[in-house]
Structure 1
Amino acid sequence: MRDIPVTETEPDHGISSLAMFLLIASPIFMASNMIVARFMAGEFPPFAMAFWRWAICFLIMLPFVGKYLWQHRAIIWAEKLQLAILGAMGMGVCGAFVYIGGQTTTATNIGLVYASSPLMIIAISAAFFDEKQRPIQIIGIILGAIGLVTIVAKGDFNVLLNLNFTSGDLWILAASTGWAIYSLYLKFHPSKLATTPRLAAIILFGVMVLFPFTIWEGMTFATPEITQKNILAILFLALFPALAAYLAYSKLQTLVTASIAGLTLYLTPISNSIMAWIILGEGFQTFHWIGSVFILLGLWMTTMKKKKKQ
């Protein structure tokens, strides 16, 4: 599993068939995690689900990156705090919290609330890292926040006055915030490790962070039953929302421009909503339409690149 270089060069003859396939497949792979989170609600303890998902994912990657990790073990040890924080955020908060939230909220809500992560990244960057934002980006953040609140409140703004939110939506909001922190930490803390081995190292530390919580969960609440359904669910999570989603998006970045690859931000919540309707029978209500319009419009405005003067 070699590192895949990122290029900003657009193919000469338009988007290839492979790029088009990956542009469709990548959001589906990402969104499938949210569908499984809802589908397996009450069937598999959330911390155990996150732990086994990433543990198996690491074992799949190990034959490809194991030698590199061993050769660079000194760097891993030197960066252990960074890797632990990234693992806690990326595999812990973004993993287990989604499965906790999936027990009490819909897969549609999970996808739409999680779609606010890029908006949070920009807002946190402006607040804590002194990154200047253009007026259109600030407007985009505000619109995205309006959409997020609309979905969490389910269109009933009396909920805001009474602070009576669905606990599942708040767990997903926490997971979305965790992803924003994870992304910013990656950006502002570069590593001496190559990209793919670094991901494997982050997963390893994430698994170690999840382990004590998984033991506590088993002793306090329940342990996962060894059933065909549970085994297939964990294998699916390890192969598709984890490994395949990362590889598909990385490959897509080598085939198209960054702006086209960024369309996955918009396609993931759409793919999630369609799959939730087909697989779980979830309907798209009025507040979903209103909230998603605000969020997607906010995403578009915040990710617009400033035109260069000739």
Structure 2
Amino acid sequence: MGKGTSDSGGVAAAGSASSAGAWLGAIALVGFILVATAQASNQILARGLAGSVPPFALAFFRWSIVAVGLAPIALAEIRDGRLALAKNIWPILAAGFMGMFLCGGPVYAAGVSTTAIHIALIMALSPITVLLISAVRGMEHVGPLQWLGTALALAGALLIISGGHPQTLIELETAAGDGLVVIAMLSWSGYTLLQSRAAPRASLLARISLFAAAGALFSLPLAAWEMWTMPAQIFSVRALAAYVFAGIVPGLLAYAGFAWLGAKFGSVRTSLVLYLGPVASALLSFAILGEPPKPIHFAGGLLILGGVWASLRR
């Protein structure tokens, strides 16, 4: 009798654990899709506005909304002593310059001459760049599989940027937008390496608030010039809607969602969002902008994502 009761209890516990695991898996899948979509929406915004809202004003207001929205978290951790501004001011400014300023206005400017799919696929090269920088600095060993992955991803990027015609790589008119995205991708890679070293005792969201404030500060001079020369484009209903959307969806929601996924599932699993980004961007680009992916995007995307996958293997 006791043994039977024990067995049935064990079965019930196993069933409960299985059910909880299934729910956790479903939550993870939904979370990854939502965060990837929120991140990809910034690329759709860059392409959809296509210069109708000046880029650095858009970046300034976006980062200002993020900084203000997360300010209560940052202020609480400053009061608690977890976030020491005096000791971390230079790393914070550097992270804001690379991760917010160079990955803000230039990406919006790039949307005038390149597609959202191009932006997403080029930005997907960031993990490989981080790996190579880490290898050069002796922080990471790069083996044959990683070098192969790097070569594949680079080939995919060049294929997409050139449109299958290598001679266009030297034509600045053709590759101007893609060149801006390459700069943003390299800057994001530097930010990735630096952000965890700036105020390491503070939470991710508290640090994001300060990085965003720094990004808004760096964007301000160019944004002020745009406000002076193009006031009608900046102070309009369309521009206001863009500022609010950029600050909330690819700003607060994307960063908060990424932080939640990292805390719930770990940084390694959370990095899978990277693989969903280009897919989300391609789908949104087709649905919203009417820009379907071309065969060259599939070929280049497979090379890039396959290269990223190989580069992240041990």
Q: Which bin holds the TM-score, normalised by the shorter protein?
A: 0.7 to 0.9
Out of 217, 220, 232, which is 1:211 matched to? 220
Q: Give the aligned partner of residue 51 of structure 2.
A: 42
Please identify, of 239-248 and 130-139, the stretch whose mean Cα deviation from structure 2 is larger: 130-139
Count residues with an aligned counterpart. Answer: 296
Task: Determine the structure 1 residue equivalent to 2:4.
Answer: none
Structure 2 match to 1:236: 245
Contact 1:48 1:224 in 2 (8 A): no
Q: How does 1:93-108 map to 2 (within 5 A)?
A: 93-108=102-117
- In the alignment, which residue of structure 2 is the partner of 1:6? none
Q: Deviations over 1:50-100 (max 9, x none)?
A: 000010111112234333335549821221111111111111001111101
Partners of 2:242 and 2:281 in 1: CA distance: 17
Q: Any conservation in 1 of the 2:92–2:198 contact (CA below 8 Å)? A: no
Task: Please give the per-residue CA displacement for 1:242-295, whole angstroms capped at 9, x wherever unaligned.
Answer: 111112122223333544322211100110011001100112112211110100
**Does 1:266 find its partner at 2:275?**
yes
What is residue 177 of structure 1 aligned with on the other side?
Answer: 186
Partners of 1:277 and 1:187 lie apart in 2 by: 35
Task: Give the whole-Å Cα distance in 1 for the aligned partners of 2:165 and 2:305.
Answer: 21
- For 1:26 and 1:110, how far apart are their aligned partners in 2? 17
Counterpart for residue 8 of structure 1: none
Q: How does 1:57-76 map to 2 (within 5 A)?
A: 57-70=66-79, 72=81, 75-76=84-85
Aligned to 1:7: none
- Measure the CA separation in 2 of the matches of 1:249 and 1:283: 27
SS for the counterpart of 1:13 is: helix
- Report if aligned partners of 1:76, 1:201 keep a CA contact under 8 Å in 2: no
Q: 2:101 aligns with which of 92, 101, 105?
A: 92
Counterparts of 1:248 and 1:135 in 2: how far apart (Å)?
A: 34
Note the C-alpha offset of 1:44: 0.9
Report deviation, 1:224.
3.9
Match of 1:19 in 2: 28
Greater Rg, structure 1 or structure 2? 2
Cα separation, 2, equivalents of 1:230 and 1:169: 24
CA 1:200–1:211 in 2, change beyond 3 Å: closer, same or farther? same
Unaligned runs of 5+ in 1: 1-10
Relative distance call for 1:64 and 1:75 in structure 2 (3 A) is closer
Pairwise mapping of residues 137-286 of structure 1 onto structure 2 (< 5 A)?
137-160=146-169, 165-188=174-197, 191-219=200-228, 224-256=233-265, 258-286=267-295
The alignment partner of 2:104 has SS state of helix
- Output the CA distance in 1 between the equivalents of 2:140 and 2:282: 33
What is the root-mean-square deviation of aligned Cα atoms in Å? 2.4
Q: More helix per residue: 1 or 2?
A: 2
Q: Which amino acid aligns with 1:54?
A: W
Taking structure 2 as the reference length, the TM-score comes to: 0.86
Change (3 A) 1:42 1:258: closer
Aligned to 2:130: 121
Relative to structure 1, the CA distance from residue 96 to residue 255 in structure 2 (aligned partners, 3 Å threshold; closer, same or farther) is same
Identical amino acids, percent of aligned pairs: 29
Q: Go from structure 1 to structure 2 and tell me whether the alpha carbon gap of 1:256 and 1:83 turns closer, same or farther (over 3 Å shift).
A: closer
Q: Distance in 2 between matches of 1:267 and 1:203?
A: 24
Structure 2 segments unaligned to the other structure (5+ residues): 1-18
Q: Which moved more, 1:127-136 or 1:107-116?
A: 127-136
The one-letter amino acid paired with 1:242 is G
Q: Distance between the aligned counterparts of 1:217 and 1:120, measured in 2?
A: 32
Residues 162 and 214 (structure 1), Cα distance of their counterparts in 2 relative to 1, 3 Å cut: closer
Which digits, 9 at most, give the CA deviation of each residue in 1:182-213, with x for residues without a partner? 01112455634333222211112222122122
